[in-house]
C-alpha cells in the first residue's frame, strides 16, 4: 500500500483487524521491536512510535482491544495458542539487522494460521560497515518469496520524483494487475483511466509501453520514453 502518512497506515491496520474480529477471529497485531544490541540497537524510522499509536487508537468497544485484538511484537514467542491470525505491520530489515529470522520463527510457530504482512520490506540491506550480509542471503531471499500478494497499490511517478502522480498499479487477489493513468479533467478534478491488465506484476518496460501506447512488437524496436517509475518494484 503506497502511503505517506503513518496514521493512514494505522487506520488500515485497525480496519483490517476489526473486520476479522467481527467474524469472531482473535487477531494479534504485531510491530517489530528494537533490533541489535548496545550502540547498534534500534528500529527502522518508519516504525518508531507505531506501537504507541496503536495503543492510543480508538478500537470501538472497550473489550475489543485485549480480547479479540491484541498487540505484540514479531517473533516465535509472540504466538499464543488462542491467536487465530496475525497482522504484521511493515516488517523490514534495518542496516546491520535482519528481521527474517524473527519472522520465520513466528510463521513456523503459527503453523497453518494466517499471517498477513502489511507493507513488508524484506530485501537485504548492507551491514553497518556497508557490506551486504552475504551469510544465508539466498535462504533469506527464498523465504521472503514464499509470501503471496493479496493486495497491491502503488502510485507511479517520474523517476526520482514523487510529483506529479502519473498513474497507479493495483491488484486485488484473485484478480489481475490493473494499470491506471491519471487524467486531469476540465473541472479541476482528476480520474484514473484503466490502460491495461496483467496476469503477473508488470515490468517497468511493460508499464512504459502501456503509457506510450506501444504494442509489444513496437517495444522490441525502440526503448520506452517514460522511465518514470519511482520504487514501484522496491
Q: How far is CA 218 from CA 167, 201, 223, in A?
A: 22, 21, 9
Q: What are the pLDDT digits (tens) for 77-90?
A: 999 999 999 999 98
Pairwise CA distance, residues 53 & 221, whole Å: 52
Counting residues of the chain whose pLDDT is more than 90, the rounded percentage is 47
Cell 491495461 appears where?
Answer: 196
- Span 100-106, mean pLDDT? 91
Mean pLDDT of the chain: 81
Give me the half-sphere count of Cα atoms (radius 13 Å) on the Cβ side of residue 140. Answer: 20
6-144 belongs to CATH 3.20.20: no
For the whole model, what pTM was predicted? Answer: 0.78
Whether 221 shows a pLDDT value over 70: the answer reads no
Q: For position 39, what pLDDT does the model report?
A: 43
Domain ranges for the chain, please list them: 6-144, 151-221
Residue whose grid cell is 492510543: 56
Among 8-17, 114-123, 126-135, the minimum mean pLDDT is found in: 126-135
CA 203 – CA 220 distance, rounded (Å): 14
- Would you place residue 116 in the very low, low, confident or very high pLDDT band (cuts 50, 70, 90)? very high
Q: What pLDDT is stored for residue 109 in this prediction?
A: 96
What confidence score (pLDDT) does residue 125 get? Answer: 59
Amino acid at each position: 500500500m503506497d502511503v505517506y502518512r503513518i496514521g493512514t497506515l494505522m487506520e488500515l491496520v485497525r480496519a483490517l483487524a476489526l473486520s476479522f474480529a467481527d467474524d469472531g477471529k482473535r487477531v494479534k497485531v504485531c510491530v517489530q521491536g528494537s533490533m541489535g544490541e548496545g550502540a547498534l540497537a534500534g528500529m527502522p524510522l518508519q516504525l518508531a512510535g507505531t506501537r504507541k499509536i496503536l495503543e492510543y487508537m480508538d478500537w470501538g468497544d472497550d473489550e475489543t482491544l485485549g480480547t479479540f485484538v491484541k498487540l505484540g511484537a514479531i517473533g516465535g514467542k509472540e504466538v499464543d495458542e488462542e491467536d487465530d491470525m496475525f497482522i504484521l505491520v511493515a516488517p523490514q530489515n534495518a542496516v546491520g539487522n535482519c528481521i527474517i529470522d524473527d519472522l520465520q520463527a513466528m510463521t513456523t510457530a503459527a503453523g497453518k494460521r494466517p499471517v498477513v504482512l502489511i507493507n513488508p520490506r524484506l530485501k537485504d540491506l548492507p551491514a553497518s560497515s556497508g557490506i551486504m550480509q552475504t551469510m544465508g542471503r539466498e535462504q533469506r531471499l527464498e523465504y521472503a518469496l514464499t509470501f503471496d500478494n493479496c493486495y497491491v497499490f502503488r502510485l507511479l511517478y517520474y523517476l526520482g520524483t514523487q510529483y506529479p502522480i502519473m498513474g497507479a498499479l493495483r491488484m486485488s487477489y484473485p484478480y489481475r494487475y490493473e494499470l491506471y493513468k491519471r487524467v486531469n479533467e476540465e473541472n479541476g478534478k482528476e480520474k484514473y483511466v484503466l490502460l491495461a491488465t496483467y496476469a503477473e506484476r508488470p515490468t517497468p518496460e511493460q508499464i512504459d509501453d502501456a503509457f506510450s501506447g506501444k504494442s509489444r512488437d513496437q517495444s522490441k524496436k525502440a526503448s520506452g520514453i517514460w522511465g518514470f517509475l519511482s520504487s514501484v518494484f522496491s
